[in-house]
Amino acid sequence: YMAWGTNAPAAAVQGVGVQGGVLTATIQNLGSVPIQNVSIVYLDGPLPRPIPLITTMIPPGQSAGASVDIMNYTAHGLPYTIMFLVRFANNATQVLTSSAG
């Protein structure tokens, strides 16, 4: 998603890893709109419900990380393909894709 102007939302995966069934991810806010929350929507396949990952606001220029137990969500081994749904304060969304392992 790319937009021009003062209300441009943009995010990136800064880091992701899986260890002992726990996924840890850091999301960076590259735009000028605060990130409202981040959820996992795909973990080696679409999930029936999003898994909340980051539930606190991420201001522009900042990063936030969180960990979540994924043992009950996938039977596959490493590497994992992961999609994060980023929701911005202006209701824009962005899907970020990454892999771990």
Interval 57-78 mean pLDDT: 88
Interval 82-93 mean pLDDT: 96
- Structure-token match 């990130």, residue found: 35
The answer to whether residue 86 scores a pLDDT higher than 80 is yes
Q: What is the mean pLDDT of the chain?
A: 90
41: exposed, middle or buried (Cβ count in 10 Å: 0-12, 13-18, 19+): middle
Look at residue 7 in the predicted model and tell me its pLDDT: 64
Interval 9-30 mean pLDDT: 94
Percentage of residues in the chain with pLDDT exceeding 90? 72
DSSP string, 8-76: ---EEEEEEEEETTEEEEEEEE-SSS-EEEEEEEEESSEEEEEEEEE-S-B-TT-EEEEEEE-TTT---
Q: Are 42 and 82 in contact (CB under 8 A)?
A: yes
The answer to whether residue 6 scores a pLDDT higher than 70 is no
Weakest-pLDDT range from 1-5, 82-86, 96-100: 1-5
The answer to whether residue 84 scores a pLDDT higher than 90 is yes
Instruction: State the Rg of the chain over Cα.
Output: 13
Collapse the DSSP code of 88 into the 3-class scheme (helix H, G, I; strand E, B; otherwise coil) and give the result.
strand
